[in-house]
Amino acid sequence: MILQTERKNNKWEELPSNIALDDIDEETLKKFIEKGNKKGRINYEYTSKEDILKRLNLIDNNGKIKNAGNILFGKNPNVELRGAIFATEEKTTFLDMQDYNGNIFKLIDIGEQYISKNIRWSANFNTGSFAREDVPEIPMTAIREALCNAFRT
């Protein structure tokens, strides 16, 4: 009971990390704010790493970047993604296996690219124009959602 209470009050993502502001990937942070603005979920522009991390509640009261800030926007957050293609449904033989490291946002992009290269695509010529539309066997929004849900702390 004591351990459960301790975990509830001190969630890992809220704890201070050991990284500095220089260890934050500014490109990923800017891209996040830009996407948030386009979707109407964020109503402020990018200013600086520190200001944005504070606005996102990723810096604690002592000025330390939280673990959540590190895995979301860190340059080397020690998060890994493994992409694999199995030869059969038994999953004992690999046709391809790749390991990637980076922050969560970079790994989601990498995972999306890896999957899109390794699934079947069809061509739709009934688009009402002269251009064909390439259609994946799995909708890319479903792939992105599955990748986002695959990360755990």
What is the pLDDT at residue 125? 82
What is the pLDDT at residue 77? 93
Strand extents, DSSP E, 6-143: 80-86, 94-101, 121-124, 133-136
Q: How far apart are CA 19 and CA 85, in angstroms?
A: 34
Q: What is the pTM of this model?
A: 0.79
Q: What is the mean pLDDT of each run of 10 residues along the chain (153 residues)?
A: 61 93 96 95 95 96 95 94 92 93 94 93 80 88 91 68
The CA distances from residue 13 to 43, 52, 87, 136, 147, in Å, are 24, 17, 37, 35, 19
Q: What angle do CA 77, 78, 84 make, to 5 degrees?
A: 125
Helix axes 104-117, 140-150, angle to 10 degrees: 140
What is the pLDDT at residue 42? 94
What is the pLDDT at residue 132? 83
Least Cα distance to 99 among 78, 119, 120 occurs for: 78
Q: How far apart are CA 121 and CA 29, in angstroms?
A: 32
The CA distances from residue 101 to 65, 81, 109, 140, in Å, are 20, 6, 12, 22
Neighbours of 50 (CB within 10 A): 13
What is the pLDDT at residue 50? 95
Tokens of 60: 């604690």
What is the pLDDT at residue 54? 96
